C-alpha cells in the first residue's frame, strides 16, 4: 500500500526544486492556469499553509461564498505582497504539511499539487515528467463531479493513457501520455485535440 502523504511530500519537494531553478523573469511568466503567472500559482499552492481558518472564512464571505473568486483574489494579493524567495521558502517549509482539500483527502492534495506543477512546467517548457506512479494515484482518485468542475466535454470520447493502464469514458479513443490526458481533463490548453 502506498503512503500517499510521502508521495505528496515528494511531489512538493521536487516542485520546489524546479521553482528554485527559475529566473526572476520566469516567475512573472503566465502558467496554464488562466490569469495566473508563476508567482500567483505558487501563492495559491502555499495559501493553505499561510491562511488560518478565520482568514479563510472572512475571505470566502468577501467573495460571496465563491471559492474560485476568493482563491483568485488571494493569489493576486499574496503574489504582490510576497517575493518569489518568500513563496519558495513557504513551500519548502511545508512539503510535509497535512493540508488536504475538503472532501478530497490526500489524493486530492496530490492531484492539486501535480496539476498545478504541470501548469508551471508545461507553460515554461520545462521537461519535467511526473512519475507514472503518482499519475496513477491521481487518476485512481478521479470522480465525475471533479470533471464537471473543469467543464471539459468528454462526450463520445474515451481517454486512453499510452504509458499507464488507464482509460476513462466511452467513444472514440484519444490516446496520449497520461500527463497530457491529465491536463486535458483539467481543461488546460495544451494542444491536445480529439
Q: Which residue has the cell 526544486?
A: 17
3-class state of residue 172 by DSSP: strand
Cβ atoms of residues 25 and 97 within 8 Å: no
Better pLDDT: 7 or 101: 7
pLDDT per position as a tens digit, 66-114: 998 999 999 999 999 999 999 999 999 999 999 998 878 999 999 999 9
pLDDT per position as a tens digit, 109-119: 999 999 999 99
Task: Beginning with the edge strand found earlier in the chain, give each strand of the sheet holding 172-176 in spatial order.
Answer: 167-168, 157-161, 172-176
State the Cα–Cα distance between residues 88 and 108, nearest whole angstrom: 22
Residue 192 binned pLDDT confidence (cut-offs 50, 70, 90): very low
pLDDT per position as a tens digit, 162-182: 999 999 889 999 999 999 999
Residue 187, pLDDT score: 84
Residue 188, pLDDT score: 85
pTM: 0.91
Amino acid at each position: 500500500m502506498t503512503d500517499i502523504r510521502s508521495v505528496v511530500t515528494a511531489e512538493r519537494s521536487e516542485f520546489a526544486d524546479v521553482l528554485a531553478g527559475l529566473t526572476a523573469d520566469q516567475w512573472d511568466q503566465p502558467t496554464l492556469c488562466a490569469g495566473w503567472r508563476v508567482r500567483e500559482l505558487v501563492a495559491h499552492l502555499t495559501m493553505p499553509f499561510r491562511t488560518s481558518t478565520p482568514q479563510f472564512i472572512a475571505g470566502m464571505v468577501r467573495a460571496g461564498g465563491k471559492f474560485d473568486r476568493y482563491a483568485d483574489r488571494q493569489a493576486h494579493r499574496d503574489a504582490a505582497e510576497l517575493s518569489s524567495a518568500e513563496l519558495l521558502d513557504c513551500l519548502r517549509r511545508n512539503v510535509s504539511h497535512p493540508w488536504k482539500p475538503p472532501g478530497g483527502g490526500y489524493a486530492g492534495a496530490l492531484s492539486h499539487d501535480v496539476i498545478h506543477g504541470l501548469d508551471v512546467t508545461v507553460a515554461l517548457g520545462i521537461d519535467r515528467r511526473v512519475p507514472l506512479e503518482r499519475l496513477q494515484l491521481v487518476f485512481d482518485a478521479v470522480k465525475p463531479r471533479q470533471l464537471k468542475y473543469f467543464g471539459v466535454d468528454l462526450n463520445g470520447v474515451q481517454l486512453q493513457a499510452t504509458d499507464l493502464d488507464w482509460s476513462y469514458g466511452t467513444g472514440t479513443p484519444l490516446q496520449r501520455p497520461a500527463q497530457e490526458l491529465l491536463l486535458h481533463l483539467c481543461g488546460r490548453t495544451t494542444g491536445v485535440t480529439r
